[in-house]
Amino acid sequence: DTAVSQTPKYLVTQMGNDKSIKCEQNLGHDTMYWYKQDSKKFLKIMFSYNNKELIINETVPNRFSPKSPDKAHLNLHINSLELGDSAVYFCASSQWTPFREVRDTQYFGPGTRLTVL
């Protein structure tokens, strides 16, 4: 059974277009994350949601808008795509919760390779 899944796996699009990436986890976790991994493999957090509430919002262009319809899903919408947005985007989830000290790791989805032409 897939724990964290993402669609699509590959996304090739033109500059200026708008695209979305979807993520779903079946681990029962309360917290989900979006990461961007660039061509140098630098893995950087973008956003995090806990139970549908935004809790981490790093310095990311406002063309990127995350949405969490429920705690098992976290989507990423990107407007007006630019060449520099080309990267692999990973979704992850963890048991982190503000109500108790849970120290567990994050589980990553397979990634979405976005190529902007």
Question: In the window 1-60, what residues touch other proteins (CB under 8 A)?
Answer: 31, 33, 40-45, 48, 50, 55-56
CB of 57 to other proteins, least distance (A): 10
Q: Residue 99: beta bridge partners?
A: none
**Of 16-24, 63-71, 74-82, 102-110, which part binds other proteins (CB under 8 A)?**
102-110
Q: Which phi-psi region, left, alpha or beta, contains residue 98 (left: φ > 0; alpha: ψ -120 to 50)?
A: alpha
Residues 49-68 that bind other proteins (CB under 8 A): 50, 55-56
Using the Cα atoms of residue 74, residue 111, residue 117 and residue 13 in order, give the sign of their dihedral. negative
What is the CB-side half-sphere exposure of residue 105 using CA atoms within 13 A?
2
Of 16 and 44, the one with the shorter C-beta distance to other proteins is 44
Binding residue (CB under 8 A) for other proteins from 98, 100, 114, 116: 98
Q: Is residue 105 involved in binding other proteins (CB under 8 A)?
A: yes
User: What does the alpha-carbon distance between residue 73 and residue 93 come to, in Å, rounded to a whole number?
Assistant: 10
